[in-house]
């Protein structure tokens, strides 16, 4: 034990490492569906996002034979779905002494840059489970808030699913998985012969994904060599072969009805989600308010060195909407500093009936 202040792993493990000058994260999970949703997000402006939707058909069309009276009633058949922001934070704490101890040529990994990138990866992973929730507490809406018939959440966008049944998604107890049950779910949430009104992606956990792989085994063997399953990019909808994919982050993919199925460690156990990504999305704040200029900045996920993670960072947008960084501030009574990553936004949905799920999948018949 040397004289002086003992060096913690925070310093010892990030200093004088000549062979490999970066830290590889072995604790965070792989690419998540929430990373995809946020990576394809758009801006949230104003105090609230409002979506006007039609909740009943205008039935005044008529066939006529001559001079009969024509329908002429004003129709009130729209409502507004309303969404406000949610907010989450992740601290980044740095001790001044550690920076002194890591100073000089031997400090292979810059501590501040390393801690920035590490904290960003943690945020990416910590918010990933929210996409499967029902938007309870202070969390943003998740799939269980709209891929649902009112069982898990009775309202969406401030409107009752009981009052307006067109706001209901499909929520079906499955039991043993069969292709017929998977197809019935698609049929329930699809508009006939409409690509825009049909599912665009399917999501499950590893166990359900493997069950489906077993269901498809003869077809899969005939079409894909081992290790040659297609991949769906973190952003975008064009599935590619591994050889065409390069180093981009993405999801290994199976297909049902020619629609990609991806797996996510954070997906609800025993659930299969069939989703239309054109009917919901992340809406995040995209500018720093004038009275907070100088204290906050928009996040650059590409910043930071010496840190490699399987959390989805490499293929996120250069300026992700809803991501902010409250700059390092000295702690007045301690020799250190603290900063925060701040996530500000909401998952908004404007056509919940185009989404659904099978739950309590127990195996195969």
Instruction: Show me where the domains of the chain are located.
Output: 21-55+80-365
Residue showing tokens 């919901």: 280
DSSP string, 256-324: ETTEEEEE-TTSPTT-EEEE-TTSEEEEE--S--GGGBTTEEE--TT---SEE-SSS-TTS-SS-TTEE
For residue 247, what pLDDT is reported?
Answer: 59
- Inter-CA distances, 293 with 197, 320, 326, 332, 343, Å: 42, 18, 10, 22, 17
In this prediction the pTM is 0.83
Instruction: Convert the pLDDT of each residue in 288-344 to its tens digit.
Output: 999 999 999 888 766 666 677 777 665 555 557 888 888 888 988 888 988 888 889
Task: Choose the weakest-confidence range: 187-191, 202-206, 279-283, 327-331.
Answer: 327-331
Terminus-to-terminus CA distance in the chain, angstroms? 62
DSSP, collapsed to helix, strand or coil, labels residue 88 as: strand
Instruction: Starting at the earlier edge strand, list the strands of the sheet with 356-364.
Output: 170-177, 356-364, 272-275, 201-204, 259-263, 254-256
- The per-residue pLDDT for 186 is 96
Q: Report whether pLDDT(233) > 60.
A: yes
pLDDT in tens, 207-227: 999 999 988 876 655 565 555
């Amino acid at each position: 034990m040397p004289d002086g202040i003992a060096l913690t792993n925070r310093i010892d493990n990030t200093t004088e490492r000549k062979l490999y000058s970066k830290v590889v994260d072995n604790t965070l999970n792989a690419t998540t569906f929430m990373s995809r949703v946020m990576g394809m997000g758009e801006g949230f402006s104003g105090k609230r996002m409002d979506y006007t939707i039609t909740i009943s058909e205008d039935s005044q069309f008529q066939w006529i034979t001559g001079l009969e009276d024509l329908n002429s009633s004003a129709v009130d058949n729209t409502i507004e779905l309303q969404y406000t922001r949610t907010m989450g934070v992740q601290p980044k704490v740095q001790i001044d002494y550690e920076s002194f101890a890591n100073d000089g040529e031997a400090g292979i990994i810059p501590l501040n840059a390393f801690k920035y990138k590490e904290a960003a990866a943690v945020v990416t992973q910590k918010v990933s489970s929210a996409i499967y929730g029902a938007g309870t507490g202070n969390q943003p809406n998740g799939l269980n808030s709209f891929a649902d018939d009112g069982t898990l959440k009775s309202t969406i966008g401030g409107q009752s699913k009981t009052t307006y049944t067109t706001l209901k998604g499909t929520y079906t107890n499955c039991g043993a998985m069969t292709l017929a049950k998977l197809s019935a779910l698609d049929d329930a949430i699809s508009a006939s012969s409409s690509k825009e009104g049909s599912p665009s992606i399917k999501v499950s956990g590893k166990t359900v994904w493997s069950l489906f792989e077993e269901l498809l085994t003869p077809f899969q063997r005939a079409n894909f060599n081992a290790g040659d399953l297609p991949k769906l990019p973190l952003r975008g909808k064009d599935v590619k072969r591994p050889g065409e994919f390069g180093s981009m982050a993405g999801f290994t993919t199976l297909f049902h009805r020619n629609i990609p199925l991806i797996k996510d460690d954070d997906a609800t156990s025993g659930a299969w989600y069939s989703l239309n990504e054109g009917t919901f999305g992340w809406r995040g704040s995209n500018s720093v308010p004038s009275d907070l200029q100088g204290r906050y900045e928009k996040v650059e996920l590409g910043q930071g060195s010496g840190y490699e993670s399987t959390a989805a960072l490499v293929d996120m947008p250069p300026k992700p909407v809803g991501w902010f960084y409250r700059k390092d501030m000295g702690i007045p009574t301690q020799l250190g500093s603290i900063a925060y990553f701040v996530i500000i936004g909401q998952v908004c949905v404007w056509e919940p009936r185009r989404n659904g799920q099978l739950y309590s999948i127990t195996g195969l018949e």
